[in-house]
Amino acid sequence: MSITIYHNPKCGTSRNTLAMIRQAGIEPEVIEYLKTPPGREKLVELIAAMDIPVRDLLRQKGTPYDELGLGEDKWTDDQLIDFMVEHPILMNRPVVVSEHGTALCRPSEKVLDLLGDIGTFTKEDGEVVPGR
């Protein structure tokens, strides 16, 4: 199975998701999206594939979300995407693309919807995710 993860190695959720993928025996294509941003066309494609509102991909914590006033209703989806292109840190993570679908994997267990049962997994913080 081919998998791509839009990853931030500084994010625990992203690291746990990557570890779950690897526990499934898959070495994914890892795109550190802060170093290699996906660009507007790819963001639009990812949002459509996840079938989520654009706002669901916006990250607030640790980003310029508040200083840019992105919580205001005045912004169109296209404008919000433009902000994510200009400030890639605004893109929530991790986003995982597989032949079984595309998902924003927050919490990290959401990746199991794309992988199936990988057995018991222990997150960095010690939380145990039981097999399905």
Give catalytic residue positions.
Answer: 11
Query: What does each of the 132 residues of the chain score in pLDDT, given as a tens digit?
Result: 899 999 999 999 999 999 999 999 999 999 999 999 999 999 999 999 999 999 999 999 999 999 999 999 999 999 999 999 999 999 999 999 999 999 999 999 999 999 988 999 999 999 999 877
Query: Could you give all domains of the chain from N- to C-terminal order, each with its CATH number?
Result: 3-117 (3.40.30.10)
Q: DSSP assignment of 16-85, as one string?
A: HHHHHHHHTT---EEEETTTS--HHHHHHHHHHHHT--GGGGB--TTSSTTTTTTTSTT--HHHHHHHHH
